[in-house]
Amino acid sequence: MTGYSSLSISALVGSHDRSGFHCGVPALDDYLHKQAGQDVKRRISRVFVATTAANPLAIVGYYTLSTLSIELGQWPDKFARKLPRHPIPAALLGRLAVDRQAQGHGVGRMLLVNAIERTLAVSDQIAIHAMIVDALDEPAQRFYEQFGFSPLGSGGHRRLFLPLKSF
């Protein structure tokens, strides 16, 4: 993992070079280039970026976090039986992307671990039952499943969850 073994992950700030980021998925690139700063200012989501010591302004990966509530009927039956009969608070990992040059070096794994750790830290202050993610495609779904994420509900959606009590 030469060059990517000691990443710094921090909140997106104006001095980060968003225009140089390209992961190969236009929607994820466009979000970082055009929308991320506005979402942060409006408190819609928080954006966290990974950078290297060699170039602390160049973004090699990013993820977003926000909150949501999941209706009881969307949870798998074996989990829903143990939950109260009202919407359940969760953290949404809205986007996770790695720059093409950094792909295959474990950056995605480091970003996901950081997002889980950050969510766990917040869950000591406010209630968060699980982390939710909408996997973009089949490979993304497999990526999340290897970390213990499970399908949420049915209907062919790629929405997955990870109960935080498992940590």
Find the catalytic residue in 4, 31, 62, 144. Answer: 144
- Strand 130-134 and strand 88-98: the pairing is parallel
Catalytic annotation on 144?
yes
The set of catalytic residues is 144
